[in-house]
């Protein structure tokens, strides 16, 4: 039974489970799926101010904070209990390409040469983790939501802005992966 959780689930199982989250949230509580709004709720609850953006009834959205806490705890528990000891499986061609730009250690989850505390103090690590994190946060706020909110919930609700945002997310991802990331990896 534990082996079932250690392997990736096929798309035809994971996709419908994610997709069914949308109608369940709507039917059971008239709630919208999304993660980025939880940061706003945390700020509104912990740092009350007279700013209009944080002046709302955040207690009505406290379910979202429990949802995000569950995601975090689920990640911690799965990393603690279900993390394989073996190195993450990477296609040999990709491994060879990454070795040419100095990425050799993959660890059991992410490339250690890119995502580690030590690499944070290199130019490449700083650009990927700090600047990249800022851009993700800025883009989330600018787009009015995160990829999960727009791509899963917004498109399911037939919202035109969510379709536009998702197309922009995808275009930005392709641009980053194919043009910008190779330049950063060579630093």
Per residue in 27-36, pLDDT (tens digit) is: 888 888 778 8
Separation CA 72–CA 152 (nearest Å)? 19
User: Mean per-residue pLDDT for 114-140?
Assistant: 90
Q: Residue 1: pLDDT band by 50, 70, 90 thresholds?
A: low
Whole-number Cα distances in Å, 123 to 83, 105, 113, 114, 119: 29, 18, 12, 11, 8
Asked whether 172 and 179 are in contact (CB, 8 A), the reply is: no
Nearest in space to 151 (alpha carbons), one of 34, 41, 63: 34
DSSP state of 146: -
Kindly give the residue spans of alpha helices, DSSP state H, lying in the chain: 2-6, 11-29, 37-46, 62-81, 92-100, 123-126, 132-143, 147, 155-156, 160-175, 181-185
Statement: the pTM of the whole predicted model exceeds 0.85: no
Top-confidence residue, 71 or 110: 71
Q: Which of 6-20, 52-66, 80-94 has the lowest mean pLDDT?
A: 80-94
């Amino acid at each position: 039974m534990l082996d079932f959780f250690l392997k990736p689930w096929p798309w035809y199982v994971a996709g419908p489970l994610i997709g069914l989250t949308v109608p369940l949230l709507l039917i059971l509580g008239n709630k919208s799926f999304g993660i980025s709004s939880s940061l706003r709720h945390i700020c509104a609850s912990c740092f009350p101010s007279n700013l209009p953006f944080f002046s709302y009834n955040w207690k009505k959205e406290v379910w979202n904070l429990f949802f995000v806490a569950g995601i975090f705890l689920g990640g911690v528990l799965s990393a603690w209990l279900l993390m394989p000891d073996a190195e993450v499986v990477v296609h040999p061609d990709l491994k060879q390409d990454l070795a040419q730009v100095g990425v050799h250690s993959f660890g059991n989850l992410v490339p250690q040469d890119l995502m580690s505390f030590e690499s944070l103090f290199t130019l490449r690590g700083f650009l990927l983790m700090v600047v990249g994190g800022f851009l993700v946060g800025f883009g989330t706020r600018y787009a009015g939501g995160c990829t999960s909110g727009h791509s899963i919930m917004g498109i399911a609700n037939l919202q035109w802005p969510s379709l536009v945002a998702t197309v922009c997310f995808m275009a930005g991802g392709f641009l980053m992966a194919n043009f910008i990331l190779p330049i950063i990896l060579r630093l």
